[in-house]
Amino acid sequence: MRENTRKQKEEMTISENSLSRSVAQSRESLVPAVFLDRDGTIINDIGYLADPGGISFYHGVPEALKRLQDRGYLLVVITNQSGIGRGFFDEETVLAVNLTMLRLLRGKGVEVAAIYYCPHHPEDNCRCRKPELLMVQRAMGDLGIDVSRSWVVGDIDKDVSTGIRAGLRPILVETGKVEKGDVPVDVKRCETVVEAVGFILDQGMG
């Protein structure tokens, strides 16, 4: 993942990475988190979203995320954004979308602890594109996350595989992509993030 140097990128660094460090430093022990895919999981997947005005949350998602937050879970978004590597848009575009999403959620009382994105083309063989683990590993280091009490929620097999490989408990949601890929049969499936949140809260933090 690339360093942010321009003004808008600096704003994203303040909104995400600085917040991540302050959260981690303010907690005396490891904390549980829910890792969330972006497109197709918490917002509609319209295909290579380049316009912040195109953000549309699935029904009930902000309220569901607030329930997780109120129960002590950190909220972390991890998203593959290969539109950058494919030349469809630049990093400033992704940052603008992410910042707008953060502001919209904040208006609903939801504070996302961090957003991590992979800008690479699938053929770049990078270490951050899901199901690779660099984004999760960075979040764990930045935020002091307790893997054993944490979850990942996404709409395709890459999200599930990321969770399994990282030691997180995965949930596949039926929103987003129709073709889910190769998902183990024992992975929990939920119709939406709202249902997934209900399941997570019913399981408790133990």
* Residues with active-site annotation: 37, 39
Task: State the pairing for strand pair 114-118/151-154.
Answer: unpaired
